[in-house]
Structure 1
């Protein structure tokens, strides 16, 4: 014989098994969310409700409202667990994003790539190339001269021979013969040598550049020289 208490109907053995089944089903629903974190809390909750409902239907337990209470409790727990798991997943995702941001901020900035140095200009190893190279040096130093003025004086003084030497005029008699393309003497070459060119008086570019520097100082420009200077 079963004893009863007013307002309460004791659960049968089958009822107890049913209630246990409901709680187990709710736990399984929460576990589903933990194993499949991409599922939303609503999806998990819905799955839990359906699972519990199926369990209740299978056991056919609807007496005295006790199983309904167990159902509500199990469903509520599943919903709470799903919500907690969602919040945990959001917190972990936010923390991971913050860690990535801090790591990126700590990365040293790469220095800007230096522009490639321009390739050195090439000149022909002939009268045309010597005059053009000398003109580039003269322009960089602000010394006036023109291609035509330089070439005209070279042709008069040496006919374009960088090894030409005058061994008969007064300079030669005094031991300082005129040398090179523009027939400049050693003391004048040294006094008007232009930085960036050779100190060798026989060097074509150095000879032209120093002679133009001298002519610019004495006549304003090599363009103004039309005879021995």
Structure 2
């Protein structure tokens, strides 16, 4: 069994987490000659909302408007034809005749048009306990991101055999120690192995619990297929 070193306060690997994306759609309007609104009306400024609303966005027809122009301005999917179908009960049977004051639906409920600002919610940040359970779980997340196989049970079993869960453990008596490269950390990794199998994004420190687990599992995957296949000193 490797010697157990003094336990010092473990360090937590500073890994960055989190992702977000926003997409929009648009549609080109057909150049179909449609009659404008039939009487004058004062233009109204477009309303701006800070977040999508439950009700479908609407537009009040102004003098000179056409279905083609409205569909283009509000990026209606399907162009003026879809705009007309969505508002047939309001417009009537002739799509070329729209009157000032008509309130047209220009999008589906819950969607945001060109006059709506999209609210973006940042991705949540995962936190881990500063103990063996938290170190293993954080290491498994890093391993998952890098395609390194291994399970919680496989890691925990080997950690308890190699270091009894002490991230500062060091072996100063075996052949590796005699050669000047003592085994270190939770999974007792020698410096050359740590250097060869260290995973970018983790702290470059064999005593860092997460870095030690990930590097050891990376090595075990290359040599044994997985840390799960290790049942003795490696």
**What interval of TM-score do these two structures reach, taking the shorter chain for normalisation?**
0.5 to 0.7
Is residue 158 of structure 1 aligned with residue 163 of structure 2? yes
Is residue 184 of structure 1 aligned with residue 189 of structure 2? yes
For 1:185 and 1:113, locate their aligned partners in 2 and report how far apart those are by CA, in whole Å: 51
For 2:223 and 2:40, locate their aligned partners in 1 and report how far apart those are by CA, in whole Å: 84
CA drift of 1:92 comes to: 3.6
For 2:39 and 2:163, locate their aligned partners in 1 and report how far apart those are by CA, in whole Å: 89
Is residue 109 of structure 1 aligned with residue 111 of structure 2? no
Task: Assess if the C-alpha contact under 8 Å between 2:39 and 2:63 holds in 1.
Answer: no
For 1:158 and 1:214, locate their aligned partners in 2 and report how far apart those are by CA, in whole Å: 17
Q: Deviations over 1:107-142 (max 9, x none)?
A: 993576264231111110000000011011111211
* Larger relative contact order (CA 8 Å, sep ≥ 6): 2
* Residues 109, 124 of structure 1: alpha-carbon distance in 2 compared, 3 angstrom cutoff: same
* Residues 194, 111 of structure 1: alpha-carbon distance in 2 compared, 3 angstrom cutoff: farther
For 1:106 and 1:221, locate their aligned partners in 2 and report how far apart those are by CA, in whole Å: 57
Is residue 221 of structure 1 aligned with residue 221 of structure 2? no
Which sections of structure 2, spanning at least 5 residues, go unmatched?
Answer: 1-37, 44-60, 75-112
* Residues 124, 186 of structure 1: alpha-carbon distance in 2 compared, 3 angstrom cutoff: same
For 1:113 and 1:144, locate their aligned partners in 2 and report how far apart those are by CA, in whole Å: 39
Corresponding residue to 1:125 among 116, 124, 130:
130
For 1:111 and 1:174, locate their aligned partners in 2 and report how far apart those are by CA, in whole Å: 68
Q: What's 1:209 paired with? A: 214
Find the residue that maps to 2:156 and give its secondary structure: helix
Q: What's 1:145 paired with? A: 150
The residue correspondences of 1:189-204 to structure 2 (distance < 5 A) are 189-204=194-209
RMSD between aligned residues = 3.0
Q: What's 2:62 paired with? A: 97
Which sections of structure 1, spanning at least 5 residues, go unmatched?
Answer: 1-89
What TM-score results when the alignment is normalised by the length of structure 2? 0.53
